[in-house]
Amino acid sequence: MINKGSITLESERLTLRKLKETDAEEVFKNWTSDDDVSKYVRWSTHKSIEETKEWLKQEEINCKSKNYYTWGIVLKETRELIGCISAIFRQEEDRYEIGYNIMKKYWNNGYTTEALKSVMNYLINEEGIKKFICRHAILNLASGAVMQKVGFKYVKDGESISFDGTKRYKTKIYTLDK
Ligand SMILES: CC(C)(COP(=O)(O)OP(=O)(O)OC[C@H]1O[C@@H](n2cnc3c(N)ncnc32)[C@H](O)[C@@H]1OP(=O)(O)O)[C@@H](O)C(=O)NCCC(=O)NCCS
């Protein structure tokens, strides 16, 4: 497998680029501090910029490994950092798991769909990755809609527990094979 990592990707309205520790203030303000964004995901709302800084520091380290991709999503029009998208190899499933978050102000503008198409195109055609998995909380219909629009197919129901163990929720699991 070729491995160029989380290189910068361009789509019509978005630039996808590596996240940096110095993005902490903008990331915290735009989505990691928002309970509505963290409601259906495995991470919990960040209580301080420091927490976001720690997460970004860890992401920078993780992205150096060949099984781990994360991009910040930048809106070309305003240059705002509006969210993130990742693909992380899961040994248990032998697949890359896709995850994404967008700041609330920009929901339902097609940005995640556009970012995911760009990421899938890169991972499949340039990195040679063939197997993907994606899961969403049953009530998180918008997330399911994104997966379906990009070609993921529902396979089964599951259950997820947040990283800190405080949230447990039923999920729908989707896969895409090339
Ligand atoms: C899920 C999330 C990433 C979607 O981002 P987005 O940029 O708004 O996604 P898009 O605009 O590309 O697509 C959203 C789709 O969901 C649909 N949708 C939104 N709310 C919906 C609902 N309640 N029921 C059904 N579909 C819904 C929209 O109509 C749109 O589909 P369409 O383009 O066919 O009309 C965003 O809501 C988010 O960041 N949520 C919080 C974090 C999160 O849940 N991440 C995913 C964890 S699995």
CB atoms within 10 A of CB 154: 12
Question: Is residue 31 helix, strand or coil?
Answer: helix
pLDDT of amino acid 43 = 96
Query: Does 22 sit in the ligand 1 pocket, CB within 6 Å?
Result: no
Note the pLDDT tens digit of each residue in 99-150: 999 999 999 999 999 999 999 999 999 999 999 999 999 999 999 999 999 9
Expressed in angstroms and rounded, the spacing between residue 48 Cα and the centre of ligand 1 is 26
User: Exposed e or buried b for every residue in 43-58, given b needs 16+ CB within 10 A?
Assistant: bbebeebebbbebbee
Structure tokens at 119: 């990421």
Q: Assign domain 9-177 to its CATH superfamily.
A: Gcn5-related N-acetyltransferase (GNAT) (3.40.630.30)
pLDDT higher than threshold 90 for residue 1: no
Q: Which atom of ligand 1 is nearest to the CA of 115?
A: 12
Read off the pLDDT of each residue in 73-82 and give the average, rounded to a whole number: 98
Expressed in angstroms and rounded, the spacing between residue 141 Cα and the centre of ligand 1 is 7
pLDDT of amino acid 3 = 87
Q: What is the mean pLDDT of the chain?
A: 97
* pLDDT band of 49, cuts 50, 70, 90: very high
Read off the pLDDT of each residue in 88-103 and give the average, rounded to a whole number: 97
Domain locations along the chain: 9-177
Burial class (CB in 10 A: 0-12, 13-18, 19+), 94: exposed
pLDDT of amino acid 102 = 98
Read off the pLDDT of each residue in 53-69 and give the average, rounded to a whole number: 96
Q: Going by CA atoms, what residue is nearest to atom 34 of ligand 1? A: 145
Note the pLDDT tens digit of each residue in 20-46: 999 999 999 999 999 999 999 999 999
Cα(64)–Cα(59) distance, integer angstroms: 9
Query: Does 40 sit in the ligand 1 pocket, CB within 6 Å?
Result: yes
Query: Does 31 sit in the ligand 1 pocket, CB within 6 Å?
Result: no
pLDDT higher than threshold 80 for residue 2: no
